[in-house]
Structure 1
Amino acid sequence: MRYSRQILIKNFGEEGQKKLRKAKVAIVGVGGLGCAVSQYLTAAGIGELVLIDYQTVEITNLNRQILYCEDDIGRLKVEVAKERLKCLNPEVEIKTYAEKLKEEFIKDVDVVVDCLDNFEGRYLLNEICVKNKIPFVHGAVENMHGQVTTIIPYETPCLRCIFNLKDRNETLPILGFAAGTIGTIQAGEVIKLLSGVGETLKNKLLIINLANNEFNLLNLKKNPKCSVCSKLCSNGDKDD
């Protein structure tokens, strides 16, 4: 009964639900994006979630990180998130790591969701996913705009192919609804990847400007000289 409304979707049905139930998904970063992603994946019935975030709840998080409240200030985000998500759907298994990202945390998952807020961490995540052939859904948000793409090693450009950016040493402005919009789209990408129903953002970058409701879809191509995927994928092909 919990999933009856989504089971009604054409081509999804009980088989689609079973695929979600068998899946293991890692969410790296349980902030504005991660709060939205984790809630919708939990509600959809993902079998197991892995939450990775070493930070504690701060009052400045509360305009967008909707799993938390004032009573949670000072607590580890992953601990609070696990409690709230278990209330939403106790059927979902939840594993937490209150540490910075390590390769062993995500090596055995089916999909990774990039909910980080810095490119240093994203590039590390990108390298781990390409090396281990793990699909991952990238999302980023600032102010009232953001972006989403789905990266599948060996098939699509990796994050280094698409972006060559350095982090700015400043506090970025953001409105909560922008994080919720991008995070919800990321959750949808995960569900489509796992169920095989619907078209993902593979080889495409969705750019959204919510200030004036502009949605742009860009086609992406691999960089044959990419410092990450051209090298790692070539090594992987040799091994295979």
Structure 2
Amino acid sequence: MTDYARYARQVVLPEVGVNGQSLLRDSSVLIIGLGGLGSAAAQYLCGAGVGRLLLADRDRVEASNLQRQTLYRQNDVGRRKVDAAIAQLAALNPEIELQGFDQIQWPRAIAQADVVLDCTDNFPTRQAINTACVQARRPLVSGAAVRLEGQLAVFDLRRGGPCYRCLYPDTGEAGERCEQAGILGPVVGAVGALQALVTLKLLLGIGDDAARLHVFDARQMQWRSHKISADPQCPSCASPHA
């Protein structure tokens, strides 16, 4: 039974209300990657009362993660991220159902999710997540952050393209990772929080954030937004088998 007092500050919003809170309670969200992006997104979605969170990551907590991955504490170092995340989120909101997956198991979790969050940090995994979401017709919320820059995009694959691969075709090149390029913690936290925001909007049917790339320049404190066009030759969303 939902404790509406817990969610009073959002239930009072006309965009949410009791019916919207019930929608969130009955929803499932898959978060792939429990680093800086996933940490922020998971905490906000858990706090908001999304009824079921599916969490996928293969890594263990390292001391260098604690600068930006706010789900974890010093005594979590060496622990599986999935296990540490579930413990923290259960303490935040015991009403939520939490299920952990090794990152290689996420393909079978996509069919269980209403929305998928890509919070990973490498292009091969991002492309694989995109392909799976296209095939399953699941909305995909993609976030990225490195140095003092962030990106956010929503691909509502229930309606077809554009998809992530329309924006970033396979190039065979590896993207920069935080280990080499660096990252300020609040930058990745801001993008992860916005991933949670657009996910809640998708679940509640508020607005339409799909098919736009939002780019954040933390140095200048500026956002830019660009329309994403479908690629008619995209091997993922334009395929007759997609």
User: TM-score of the superposition, structure 1-length normalised?
Assistant: 0.93
In 2, are the aligned partners of 1:76 and 1:98 still within 8 Å (CA)?
no
Give the match for residue 138 of structure 2: 134
Amino acid aligned to 1:190: T
Alignment RMSD: 1.4
Share of identical aligned residues, percent? 36
2:226 is aligned, of 218, 223, 226, to 218
In 2, are the aligned partners of 1:33 and 1:182 still within 8 Å (CA)?
yes
Matches of 1:102 and 1:36 in 2, distance apart? 19
Q: 1:169 Cα deviation (Å)?
A: 6.9
Q: 1:101 Cα deviation (Å)?
A: 4.5
In 2, are the aligned partners of 1:52 and 1:96 still within 8 Å (CA)?
yes
Matches of 1:17 and 1:156 in 2, distance apart? 29
Greater Cα offset, 118-127 or 157-166:
157-166
**What do residues 84-137 of structure 1 show as CA deviations (whole Å, max 9, x unaligned)?**
000100000000013424421221211000000111100000000000101110
Matches of 2:176 and 2:161 in 1, distance apart? 30
**What do residues 30-52 of structure 1 show as CA deviations (whole Å, max 9, x unaligned)?**
00000000000000000100000
Moved over 4 A (4+): none
Unmatched 5+ residue regions in structure 1?
A: none
Question: Kindly tell me: are residues 176 and 169 of structure 1, through their superposed partners in 2, closer, same or farther at Cα, counting changes over 3 Å?
Answer: closer
Q: 1:186 Cα deviation (Å)?
A: 0.3
Is the partner of 2:104 in helix, strand or coil?
coil
Unmatched 5+ residue regions in structure 2?
A: none
Q: 1:213 Cα deviation (Å)?
A: 0.7
Give the match for residue 163 of structure 2: 158
Amino acid aligned to 1:202: A
Amino acid aligned to 2:232: P
Question: Kindly tell me: are residues 214 and 169 of structure 1, through their superposed partners in 2, closer, same or farther at Cα, counting changes over 3 Å?
Answer: closer
**What do residues 162-189 of structure 1 show as CA deviations (whole Å, max 9, x unaligned)?**
0135214762310100011000100001
Q: 1:235 Cα deviation (Å)?
A: 3.2
Matches of 1:168 and 1:219 in 2, distance apart? 22
Is the partner of 2:99 in helix, strand or coil?
strand
User: TM-score of the superposition, structure 2-length normalised?
Assistant: 0.92
1:209 is aligned, of 214, 217, 220, to 217
Q: 1:155 Cα deviation (Å)?
A: 3.6
Residues matched between the structures, number: 233
Q: 1:11 Cα deviation (Å)?
A: 2.8
